[in-house]
Amino acid sequence: MLNQVFINEVGIYPFISEAEMFDFVSFNKGILVAINADKILHATDQTKGIINKNVGYCDGIGAVLALKKKGFKDVAKIAGYEFWLKIIDKYCHKKTFYIIGATQEVIELTVGKLKLDYPDIQILNYRNGYIRSDEERSALIADVVLKKPDVVFVAMGSPKQELLMDEMNRVHPAIYQGLGGSFDVYTGTVKRIPEWWKKHNLEGAYRLINQPYKLNRFVKALPFWWNLFIGKY
């Protein structure tokens, strides 16, 4: 049986391939949480609790290297912004979907493109990720319970998406995946990372070059790399 590996009290499943993760998820409903250096370093007790009772997987090279130092040499980096489309490709003929996140314009573009790319997809409902009141949040959760989707994608950024998915999962168990800015990438609103940068695990560097305003986020992750270097993780 596959067990979690804990890095700074954050549980990560050491999947060696997307196929192994698919097999695991098919028998274990819950929330798929992309784990990177930022989540390992800055997870709160609340978000650690959500991750550790669900399915954390290596989405960033930092998480991969941390697990390799623990002896899991074959652990794979699984890109969440690609994996969600593989879930759809695998299950669009037999499962139903609910889509949440991004701006109204982007969510509508996302749903339209999904229906073109996957003509058989069953999208039960969708809405943008700007939930402005408790009433809107309650209405969304009630609709998920009513519609009973098999798979729910939430693209709101962390930790908002994890907190919302945890609420929904408590009243309607399903496969949930947090997607950050994946809808923007899928619709072409944000430029895809070129293959060369992905192949060499330099996604973070590419984003920093093209989005220099994210420098502060990069700086905040530096303690993770120091802790990894000195063997704290």
Share of the chain above pLDDT 90, in %: 76
**Judgement on whether residues 70 and 96 belong to the same structural domain of the protein:** no
Query: pTM for the whole thing?
Result: 0.89
pLDDT, residue 222, reads: 81
**Judgement on whether residues 159 and 219 belong to the same structural domain of the protein:** no
Domain that holds residue 170: 79-192
pLDDT bin (cut points 50, 70, 90) of residue 211 is low
Structural domain includes residue 197: no
pLDDT, residue 17, reads: 96
pLDDT bin (cut points 50, 70, 90) of residue 98 is very high
CA distance 22 to 57: 12
Report how many domains make up the chain.
2
Residue tagged 């960033």 (tokens): 60
Mean pLDDT computed over 53-57 = 97
**Judgement on whether residues 101 and 185 belong to the same structural domain of the protein:** yes
**Judgement on whether residues 104 and 142 belong to the same structural domain of the protein:** yes
**Judgement on whether residues 64 and 33 belong to the same structural domain of the protein:** yes
* Exposed/middle/buried for residue 34 (C-beta within 10 Å: 0-12, 13-18, 19+): buried
